[in-house]
Amino acid sequence: MEIGFLGLGIMGKAMSINLLRHGFKVTVWNRTLSKCDELVEHGASVGETPAAVVKKCKYTIAMLSDPAAALAVVFDKDGVLEQINGKGYIDMSTVDAETSIKISEAIKAKGGDFLEAPVSGSKKPAEDGQLVILAAGDKAFYDEALPAFDVLGKKSFFLGEVGNGAKMKLVVNMVMGSMMNAFSEGLTLAERSGLNPSTLLDVLDLGAISNGMFKLKGPTMLKNSYAPAFPLKHQQKDM
């Protein structure tokens, strides 16, 4: 089966590579086409436009930065809508429910199938195929897409009607952002109080609020290493 993939940022690149490694044929597109070069080295084909990708593939996945990008890829000239009749479209971008519903209605009006499927997880889970997929929309299309979801994630949830996936993702990101804000303040407070922040990590890890995010982020934060896995501008958008 050939899958299209639109958007090769931090997440999209890792997800596309995982699909290729597991035997899927993948045709990719990115607004900056040079970002496709690395995927070609892994065996991908390149589509010149979103419409060209959709025309070639049974269904197409999008992983884009924000609602404006998600809408542009669908509605602009040479966009998804021009070739979606009889095809499927899965938007895995983090957008608001209203944006997702607008895209869904337009695609269904043109004879296409639609799923929203935002994900919980950032760069490392995307690379490892350990995302949590929050899908909503056409149930039959969801069932058809499960082989790809099983490669991309450790668990997929079907949440019913379009909009529910977007809402769930934004709730998750609100919780995550609030936790990271408190965690950052706690590390700073410990240091300014003359305590060893590394010891704070050990204490937290043994208590009721031990969690994978603190384990992953804490050591790099103590080293002042902030290579983006999830850029702050996207977290601000979601909050």
SS (H, E, C) 128-156: HCCEEEEEEECHHHHHHHHHHHHHHEEEE
Instruction: Please check whether residues 62 and 112 belong to one and the same domain.
Output: yes
End-of-domain residue from the set 138, 161, 184: 161
- Pick from 171, 114, 177: nearest CA to 142: 114
Which of 167, 169, 217, 237 is catalytic? The answer is: 169
d(CA 175, CA 169): 10
Per-residue model confidence as pLDDT tens digits over 127-166: 999 999 999 999 999 999 999 999 999 999 999 999 999 9
Position 237 scores a pLDDT of: 67
Report residue 226's pLDDT band, with 50, 70 and 90 as the boundaries. Answer: confident
Checking if the pLDDT of 228 tops 80, the result is no
Q: Looking at residues 189-193, what average pLDDT do you find?
A: 96
Report residue 232's pLDDT band, with 50, 70 and 90 as the boundaries. Answer: low
Instruction: Please check whether residues 146 and 189 belong to one and the same domain.
Output: no
Report residue 231's pLDDT band, with 50, 70 and 90 as the boundaries. Answer: low
Q: What's the token pair of residue 135?
A: 């899908």
Instruction: Please check whether residues 51 and 125 belong to one and the same domain.
Output: yes
Residue with tokens 């804490």: 218
What beta strand segments (E) does 87-206 contain?
A: 88-91, 113-116, 119-120, 131-137, 153-158
Position 183 scores a pLDDT of: 95
Position 225 scores a pLDDT of: 80
Q: How far is CA 204 from CA 67, 89, 181, 226, in A?
A: 36, 42, 15, 21
Position 233 scores a pLDDT of: 64
Q: Residue 226 is part of a domain; what is its CATH number?
A: 1.10.1040.10
The answer to whether 155 is a known catalytic residue is no
Q: Is the pTM of this model over 0.75?
A: yes
d(CA 75, CA 97): 17
End-of-domain residue from the set 161, 194, 218: 161
Instruction: Please check whether residues 229 and 153 belong to one and the same domain.
Output: no
- Pick from 140, 16, 149: nearest CA to 88: 140
Checking if the pLDDT of 58 tops 90, the result is yes
Position 108 scores a pLDDT of: 98
End-of-domain residue from the set 103, 126, 161: 161
Position 163 scores a pLDDT of: 98
Position 236 scores a pLDDT of: 64
Report residue 86's pLDDT band, with 50, 70 and 90 as the boundaries. Answer: very high
Instruction: Please check whether residues 125 and 175 belong to one and the same domain.
Output: no
Domain count along the chain? 2
The more confidently predicted of residues 221 and 150 is 150
Residue range(s) defining the domain that contains residue 212: 168-238
Instruction: Please check whether residues 146 and 89 belong to one and the same domain.
Output: yes
Checking if the pLDDT of 235 tops 70, the result is no
